Amino acid sequence: MKIRNHNISAIDIGTAKTCALIAEIDRENKIPIIKGYGVVATKGIKKGTVVNIEEVSETISKASNIAEEMAGTSISNCYVSISGDHIRSINTQGMIAISRDTRTGLGEAREIEQDDIDRVIEHTRAVPLPVDRQILHVMPQEFIVDEQSGIRNPINLLGRRLEVKVHLTTYSTTVASNLLRCFKNADLSIDGFVLQAFASSYGVLTANEKEYGAILIDIGSGTIDVIVLRNSGIYHTGVVNFGAHLVTSDIAYMLRIPLESAEIIKKSHGYAFAGMADKEAFFKIESSGNRPAREIPIARLAQYIEPRMEEFLREAFMEAKKADIPLSNIPLLVLTGGGSL
């Protein structure tokens, strides 16, 4: 009997745009097939937090409706990405006894089962948190069996004691509650929240890159997400509280033009490094009234952009340095997000 496929949906709410995605999961080979997607401009979000319930609700409805129309199906629930400077992360660890003797303490070694792994990971969740914070992800870095470290999967290994080192992320319950209200207004329920940087790492990095080590910098419009990986484990996640919108603001201020025009010019003519710009090339900006159009050297535009991009990378690197491992051991730097284009 053929197993029936099922749909899964996700919505990513960024500062600049919101994306809705519907995929069909083949239950036999577990491969997702994209059936529909919708992309709309975001309203009501600032740096990852809701500032206008009605506008965010409308944004969610528009994106999901477009995706539903393309997929030819409707959705009632979805996974939701979450980011913003309210995200916090720590590295911690837990330990349990695999077998115990009531007289001598640890008993004879036995095979480690999935239940043991679940118990030791659950043990790491016992960290004191403020009342307004909740655990988002608990991501194992490595397991230790009877002081043997560097173990990825301890299933079926013999041992008396099992330890795990994990990366734990938390979020503000206030931010989550406001998002829940927005999705409720859009007639959608949330299956779960997913850290935006975590999702980006799955979409951008290969298994080998995660193994060798990578710093992933996701430059969004309102925030910059940073994630540090090594040996396929996550050692730091963080958020820089500004993003590519500042580049647009700089261009608008220096050229005395509206933000909408500055965004178009940034995408059409911008260079992150002034040395890459053609020193002989120009672009025109239409003037109001009967005044002639202004000719702006592309090299000058690059001089406006380069200092801000240097600031982005500098702040992202400072955030990455908070990882518990030396960055000299990380061979790869990957840029993603709309601000990196």
- Domains parsed from the chain with CATH numbers: 6-85+174-204 (3.30.420.40), 89-170 (3.30.1490.110), 245-340 (3.30.420.40)
Mean pLDDT of 305-325: 94
Alpha carbon separation from 198 to 82, 94, 225 (Å, rounded):
10, 22, 9
Average pLDDT across the chain, whole number: 91
Asked if residues 273 and 306 have their Cβ atoms less than 8 Å apart, the reply is yes
User: pLDDT at position 31, please?
Assistant: 81
β-pairing, 77-82 vs 6-13, is parallel
Put residue 310 in one of left, alpha, beta given phi > 0 → left and psi -120 to 50 → alpha: alpha
Asked whether the predicted pLDDT for residue 3 surpasses 80, the reply is no
Least confident of 6-15, 22-31, 269-278, 306-315: 22-31
pLDDT digits (tens, 9 = 90+) for 52-105: 999 999 999 999 999 999 999 999 999 999 998 899 999 999 999 887 655 555
* 64 vs 43: CA distance, rounded Å: 15
pTM recorded for the entire structure: 0.88
- Identify which of 264, 251, 296, 293 has the alpha carbon closest to the alpha carbon of residue 278: 296
- Residues of 195-232 as b/e, b for ≥16 C-beta within 10 angstroms? bbbbbbbeebbeeebbebbbbbbbbbbbbbbbbbbbeb
Instruction: Judge whether 324 and 230 are in contact, CB under 8 Å.
Output: no
